[in-house]
Structure 1
Amino acid sequence: MAKVVVIGIPGESGLWLADLTAGTVTQLPKPLSGELATAESLRHSGGAVVKGVDFAVAVSSADQVFSGHFEG
């Protein structure tokens, strides 16, 4: 089972690494390389890359999540 997730959010430059075991989120250092750099390039062109995730929703605040809402 995956314990790390790479996240990119529209309007946010760069990618983020969420380590579920450590409970941390850190920005990935640039320059990216390999397939990760290719995926980031696709993202900036409006594409989305989804692999190994079965639920993801972006909202404007944690309060929305804790109140049961997940509309941005």
Structure 2
Amino acid sequence: MAKFVVLGVSGEEGYWFVDFEAGTVTAMPSTVEAPFGYSTEARSHGAVLTAGVDLAVTVTDQDDAFAGRYDSVPFSGRYDT
């Protein structure tokens, strides 16, 4: 299992470093270059860049994460966006 993830949230500038073992999420300093050379420009054009992540959903708070809003209908078998 991966021990770290770099995240960028749509509509937000900058990147976050997630350390699963330590249980921490830290903002990467703005002085650091984009972690993947093309990522800042690609994201500014709406690109979604993923590797090694099979679920990522933004929520407004912890309660929203457990509200079951994605459980109301069975999986269609299609990869809908």
TM-score range (shorter-chain normalised) is 0.7 to 0.9
2:34–2:40 Cα contact (<8 Å) kept: no
Distance 1:31 1:37 in 2: 14
2:3–2:20 Cα contact (<8 Å) kept: yes
Kindly report the root-mean-square deviation, in angstroms, between the aligned alpha carbons of the 2 structures: 1.8
Distance 1:26 1:3 in 2: 14
Question: Unaligned stretches of 5+ in structure 2?
Answer: 71-81
Listed one character per residue, the Cα deviations across residues 24-50 of structure 1 (whole Å, up to 9, x for unaligned) are: 001111233365242122112211110
> Number of paired residues?
70
Aligned partner of 2:4 in structure 1 is: 4
Aligned partner of 2:58 in structure 1 is: 58
Distance 2:28 2:34 in 1: 14
Secondary structure in 1 matching 2:18: strand
Aligned partner of 1:33 in structure 2 is: 33
2:5–2:18 Cα contact (<8 Å) kept: yes
How many angstroms does 1:68 deviate by?
2.8
Higher helix fraction: Structure 1 or Structure 2? 1
Q: Percent identity?
A: 40
Question: Unaligned stretches of 5+ in structure 1?
Answer: none
